[in-house]
Structure 1
């Protein structure tokens, strides 16, 4: 008989969100593709929307190598980025207003970049989205000393979650949602979404502080520098 915790009722229906972008700087890089979906308790996607944007800037070859979208393809087939930013922000705002938690892997990246895009294009941003579930933050909190990388591909494999087509916004979003459900079955989670959201704020802050110390020790950043641990939208 398994002693693993049952799936909390608040994880029986979750939204999933992922962006593929022109780069990794949340302040200056742009959205290329986006996915927002909804999973049921068995991890099946029961609703979804995908967007392809013309980001308005060149898509670097390095970014294209990750997600497969070229500048020419985005210009020919993508919607104006203003429309995409407004649509994605509106879809997430609607789900959150209904109390549906949104799962995003490394949420502070996707939500921060979306917020900067919103401000850039005159869209009302999601300044304090809640409730958010971030499998990266949760996995680091519950299994802190596990060696190895914590990319979505690696963590999904660790929890036996299939991930085909990594760095496709749809595949990554769905896999992140299923990892969140796997984590909830493996570890005993807080009783409410609100408690989990609040705990993740603290976990993300302490994880950033720990990583800051490590990066300083190996000379990757200067002693006076620090990583921003604000979650789910960086300050």
Structure 2
């Protein structure tokens, strides 16, 4: 079953949220599951630009620290990309939360530093991705924000919904977030393959829960379905935003935004 296979958890912490302009600060690539030992790799880069205070407030890495201790951005980008490529060539799906952000930003960093992008390295090898944000929204489509400051699909919210312990002091570290995504994915997969009557009460009575739609799919099928689900979810969010902003646009590209479409 897809949630019990070997996978590679992936997360970036960056200088901001603009995939076309911002840079990698830290990255984690963690191979786990499949009854094999966990293989963890983490990088700290000198991004070559100032790290804004807002970004430092999230991941706690300052410009000075990155300049003193970080590796050259070119080398970090190349190593991250090759590490992912090795896992994908072995058949491991990339797992993360809101994966198009991380994969698109990595792709743009490759182009910025004249490093071969991931898709080019893979050649004919298919990329398989499992995105906890897309899968959660497909499986449990109706959920209110827990509070005014916490979104319905944030990583912390998913941890709470799937009853995983959350350590705020560790959150927004790339390894912590990558591992949390993998743990959430495992919970989603377990529930999908479990009889509905055995679900925990908070899941069983979730409005229009349809986790069973994720059952008995192979990785290729699940990857392909996420492409459509992500597009539908983005269209719905765009429609909501346009109630107050008629010009709002939500990109539904998945698992990354194609180069040249920005």
TM-score (norm: length of structure 2) = 0.82
1:27 aligns with 2:20: yes
Matched residue, 1:233 = 256
1:131 aligns with 2:136: no
- Equivalent positions of 1:1-235 (< 5 A) are 8=1, 11-40=4-33, 46-127=38-119, 130-148=127-145, 149-164=152-167, 165-187=170-192, 188=212, 189=214, 190-219=216-245, 222-223=246-247, 225-235=248-258
Aligned residues of 1:45 and 1:174 also touching (Cα < 8 A): no
Corresponding pairs, count? 224
Aligned residues of 1:163 and 1:172 also touching (Cα < 8 A): no
Runs of 4 or more off by more than 6 Å in structure 1?
A: none
Could you tell me which runs of 5 or more consecutive residues in structure 2 were left unpaired when the two chains were aligned: 121-125, 146-151, 193-211
TM-score (norm: length of structure 1) = 0.91
Q: Deviations over 1:145-199 (max 9, x none)?
A: 1222210011111101223211000000000001011000112424200000000
SS of the residue aligned with 2:29? strand
Higher relative contact order (CA 8 A, sep 6+): 1
Shift of 1:9: 5.3
SS of the residue aligned with 1:17? strand
Distance in 1 of aligned mates of 2:37 and 2:158: 20
Aligned residues of 1:162 and 1:175 also touching (Cα < 8 A): no
Distance in 2 of aligned mates of 1:45 and 1:179: 19
Shift of 1:45: 6.9
Backbone CA RMSD of aligned residues: 1.7
Distance in 2 of aligned mates of 1:40 and 1:106: 21
Could you tell me which runs of 5 or more consecutive residues in structure 1 were left unpaired when the two chains were aligned: 1-7
Matched residue, 2:149 = none
Aligned residues of 1:21 and 1:33 also touching (Cα < 8 A): yes
Q: Deviations over 1:13-69 (max 9, x none)?
A: 211000000000000000000000022258x97110010000000000000000000
